[in-house]
Amino acid sequence: MTSRRLLAFAALPLLLAACEAPGTATPSQRYVVFFTQDSAALDENGEQVVTLAATSAKAAPNARIRVLGYAGPAGSVAFNKALSDTRARHVADHLVSQGVPQSRIQIVPRGPVPFELAPTESRRVEIVIGG
């Protein structure tokens, strides 16, 4: 690829952003926190992800924030629905402790989902900022 093409390719996202009409939605940012089986406790990696998400949320004070909780399919549906809710609430509480207003956060427990590529991928909370 020539240097001119490479420069044009690298500048494309900036050009597209500059051409957006005022008031159009900004792209969403997605952060994923993983959990161990049957747990809603944040480990060190999870805390770091939530801290990064909180920083992004505070930098975009008008963006909505959705916290989506998931659980794996093992066990009862009722247990996994409650677990997905608890996971999402713990993440939301951590966002609030990092200075994100509670009023901006929508908690969405999704309940159990089938195992995806690996069982740990089903045991997650997604933080979606904007979009």
CATH number at residue 97: 3.30.1330.60
Per the domain annotation, does 5 fall within a domain? no
Domain count, the chain: 1
Pairwise pLDDT comparison (12 vs 126), residue with the higher score: 126
Indicate whether 98 belongs to any domain. yes
Within 1-131, strands assigned E span 29-34, 65-71, 105-112, 124-129
pLDDT tens track for 39-88? 999 999 999 999 999 999 999 999 999 999 999 988 899 999 999 999 99
Q: What value, to the nearest 5°, has the Cα angle with vertex 93 and ends 92 and 98?
A: 95
Q: What is the pLDDT of residues 86-103, one digit of tens each?
A: 999 999 999 999 999 999
Q: Would residue 86 count as lying in a domain?
A: yes
**Report field, pTM of the whole predicted structure over 0.95:** no
Nearest-angstrom CA–CA distance, 68 and 127: 6
For the chain, give the mean pLDDT: 83
- Burial class of residue 92, CB neighbours in 10 A (0-12, 13-18, 19+): buried
Q: Is residue 8 part of a domain?
A: no
Q: What is the DSSP string of 87-108?
A: HHHHHHHHHHHTT--GGGEEEE
**Domain limits for position 50:** 26-129
